[in-house]
Amino acid sequence: MSNKKTAQPNAGAFLRRLAALASGPHADALRQGLRGIEKESLRVTPEGKLAMTLHPRAFGSALTHPYITTDYSEALVELITPAEKDVAITLDKLDALHRFAFAHMGDELLWNDSMPNSLPPEEDIPLGYYGTSNIGTLKRVYRRGLALRYSRTMQCIAGIHYNYSLHENVWRAWQALDPSSTLSAKDFQSERYFALVRNFRRTSWLLMYLFGASPALNKRFVEGKAHTLETLDADTFYLPHATSLRMSDLGYTNNPAQAALLPNYDEVNAYVDVLAKAVSQPYAPYQAIGTQRDGEWVQINTNVLQIENEFYLTIRPKRITHFGERPLRALSERGVQYIEVRCLDIDPFVPTGISLETSRFLDAYLLYCALEDSPFLPKDASVEANANFGVVVKEGRKLGLMLKRDGADIAMRDWAEELFDAIAPVAATLDRLNGTDDYTRALEALRPRLADASLTPSARVLQTMRDNMQSFDAFALDLSRRHAEYFRARPLSAEEEREMSLLAAQSLVEQEKVERGDTEPFDVFAAAYQDYKLDGANA
3-state secondary structure 343-364: EECCCCCCCCCCCHHHHHHHHH
Which residues partner with 402 through β-bridges? 411
* 241 conformational bin, left if phi > 0, alpha if psi -120 to 50, beta if neither: alpha
Average of pLDDT values for 470-490?
98
pLDDT attached to residue 178 = 85
pLDDT for the residue numbered 532: 58
Whether the pLDDT of residue 134 is over 80: the answer is: yes
58-78 exposure pattern, b = at least 16 Cβ within 10 A, e = fewer: ebbbbbbbebbbbbbbbbbbb
Question: What pLDDT shows up at residue 429?
Answer: 97
Tens digits of per-residue pLDDT, 99-123? 999 999 999 999 999 999 999 999 9
**Going by DSSP bridges, is the β-strand pair 34-44/315-318 parallel, antiparallel, or unpaired?**
unpaired
Contact 337, 165 (CB under 8 A): yes
pLDDT at 539 over 70: no
Q: What is the pLDDT of residue 25?
A: 86
pLDDT band at 8 (very low <50, low <70, confident <90, very high): low
| Model pLDDT, residue 9 | 57
In whole angstroms, what separates CA 403 from the centre of its chain?
A: 24
What band does 405 get if pLDDT is binned at 50, 70 and 90? very high
pLDDT at residue 254 in the model: 52
- CA angle centred on 399, ends 398 and 402, rounded to 5°: 80
Please state, in angstroms and rounded to a whole number, the distance separating the CA atoms of residues 323 and 339.
Answer: 19
Class of domain 2-538: alpha beta
pLDDT at 476 over 90: yes
The DSSP-derived string for 276-343 is: HHHTTSB-HHHHHH-SEETTEE--S-SBS-SSGGGS--SEEEE-PPPTT--HHHHHHHH---EEEEEE
Over range 33-52, report the average pLDDT: 98
Residue 315: predicted pLDDT: 96
Q: Which pTM was predicted?
A: 0.95
pLDDT of residue 529: 87
Chain mean pLDDT for the chain: 93
398 has pLDDT over 80: yes
pLDDT for 323: 82
Give the Å distances, CA to CA, from 428 to 312, 367, 434, 476: 34, 12, 10, 37
More confident residue, 532 or 474: 474
What crossing angle do the helices spanning 412-434 and 438-446 adopt, rounded to 10°? 160
Predicted confidence (pLDDT) at residue 11 exceeds the cutoff of 70: no
Q: What is the pLDDT of residue 348?
A: 98
What does the pLDDT read at residue 250? 87
CB-CB contact of 235 with 115 (8 Å): no
SS3 letters for 418-468? HHHHHHHHHHHHHHHHHCCCHHHHHHHHHCHHHHCHHHCHHHHHHHHHHHC
More confident residue, 328 or 364: 364
pLDDT (tens digit, 9 = 90+) per residue, 493-522? Answer: 999 999 999 999 999 999 999 999 999 999
User: What mean pLDDT comes out for the span 462-471?
Assistant: 98
pLDDT exceeds 60 at position 7: no
Cβ distance 236 to 471 under 8 Å? yes
* 70-108 tens-digit pLDDT: 999 999 999 999 999 999 999 999 999 999 999 999 999
Q: Which amino acid is at 235?
A: D
Portion of the chain with pLDDT greater than 90, in percent: 87
- Band of residue 531 on the pLDDT scale cut at 50, 70, 90: confident
Alpha carbon 111 to its chain's center: 17
Confidence of residue 262 (pLDDT cuts 50, 70, 90): confident
Q: How far out from the chain centre does Cα 306 lie?
A: 19
311 or 132: which leads in pLDDT: 132
pLDDT > 70? residue 161: yes
The per-residue pLDDT for 2 is 43
Is residue 320 pLDDT above 80, yes or no? Answer: yes
